[in-house]
Structure 1
Amino acid sequence: MQKLTGLYVIADAACIGNDKIITKTEEVLTTGVKIIQYRDKINSPEDRYKIAAQLRKLTHDHTCLLIINDDAQLALDIDADGVHLGKNDTSIEQARRLLGDDKIIGASCYAQYEDAQIAINASADYIAFGSFFPSTTKPNAPRAEIALLTKAKQQFKTPICAIGGITPQNATNVLTAGADMIAVISAVFNASSPKQAVQEYLSLM
């Protein structure tokens, strides 16, 4: 399995729009970013499949991992590299049975250390904590303390992803505290130049 580290870019259909999600993601991929997540809470299953299949080809061409948000079946259907699961989604155990041992399963643990322990015991390949800072994508998300990253890093060997309002100005805080990956959405895709925004993050890693 490819090492899970660095910038984790989330291509969110609601943030980007169907008309731009492919072109903007392709622009981001030219930077050499190694992990893309496709998140889609707005489209029909048919449209999600079409977009995901296009993203699968793009990420494959750029030697980049593609993770599907919330939908293990879609991840299986397009042969994505894995799935990211929230608390109310398919269980990690169900996703593992469906996808097999070779696929990546990530788990949102929000601000809960105990959720991370449960996810790791259930075979999660990485855990995600947040929101660490005010987030435009999820303004009402529970706030996580930076110290949670340090505690998790000391206790777990599983890669840790930090998410929520992370900018080039505050990214060093979460990286220093123990995050292996930082996840970004609007800071990249709402930027006038997504490519330049990604390069700014990559320069910190």
Structure 2
Amino acid sequence: MKITAISNLELCGSKEALKEKISRLCEAGISEIILREKNLSVSEYCALFCEVLQICNHFGVRLFLHNFLDLAFKMEHKFVWLPLGVLQNFRQNSTRNLSEFEKIVVSAHSTDEAKLALNLGANALCLSHIFQTDCKANLEPKGLDLIRNVREFWGGEIYALGGINSANFRLVLEAGADNIAIMSSAMQTQNEAKFIVNFKI
């Protein structure tokens, strides 16, 4: 199982604090990092990504470039994590080949979205949101059935996201997910090493 931390600049308060948080998570043994900062301009994101990539490379942690697919092509970065709409738009407007990427994780919130993501070229899925979460307080969670239903037709890699913690992550794995992705608690923990240990099987 991979534990993937999703960045949130707002929760950290500053770019320096975010970089320090990512450094501590990497040192503690996080599996992967997603730099998910859609509110930044492409140039701002690029600058931050380059700095975070240095941190992740130092610790041997995989970093996903999120959302900005054209930037991923330009930087020749092999690992991308995309909203479904970004992938749809790319397929409608570009002739470039996604085979340049080693891993393309696409977010899906239903079985139909999961099927569409796979048809458009995803080779891994992120299913959300599984449990109730403050980030989406007004939205009904999809529940474990989303994972089970997707697993019926997809044998590849599934990440689960949304309200996952040390008390319930085993349920997610039992339902068929391979990995878990966590944002708020990863960004807010005061003890990164303990945070990681709590998810050990």
Is 1:173 aligned to residue 171 of structure 2? yes
Which SS does the other structure have where 2:198 is aligned? helix
Q: CA deviation at 1:195?
A: 3.1
Q: Which residues of structure 1 form unaligned runs of 5+?
A: none
- Of Structure 1 and Structure 2, the greater helix share is in 2
Residue in 2 that maps onto 1:188: 186
Distance 2:16 2:136 in 1: 22
Residue in 2 that maps onto 1:80: 77
Distance 1:191 1:178 in 2: 27
Residue in 2 that maps onto 1:9: 5
Percent of aligned pairs sharing the same letter: 20
C-alpha contact 2:125 2:158 (8 A) present in aligned 1: yes
Tell me how many residue pairs correspond in the alignment.
Answer: 198
**1:156 partner amino acid:** W
Distance 2:30 2:78 in 1: 15
Distance 1:66 1:99 in 2: 18
> Cα 1:98–1:12, aligned 2, differ >3 Å: closer, same or farther?
farther
> Cα 1:155–1:113, aligned 2, differ >3 Å: closer, same or farther?
same
Q: Which residues of structure 2 form unaligned runs of 5+?
A: none
**1:75 partner amino acid:** A
Aligned Cα RMSD in Å? 2.2
**2:186 partner amino acid:** V
Is 1:46 aligned to residue 16 of structure 2? no
Q: TM-score, normalised by structure 2?
A: 0.87
C-alpha contact 1:65 1:81 (8 A) present in aligned 2: no
Moved over 4 A (4+): none
Distance 2:192 2:80 in 1: 24
C-alpha contact 2:35 2:64 (8 A) present in aligned 1: yes
Q: CA deviation at 1:197?
A: 1.1
> Cα 1:78–1:13, aligned 2, differ >3 Å: closer, same or farther?
farther
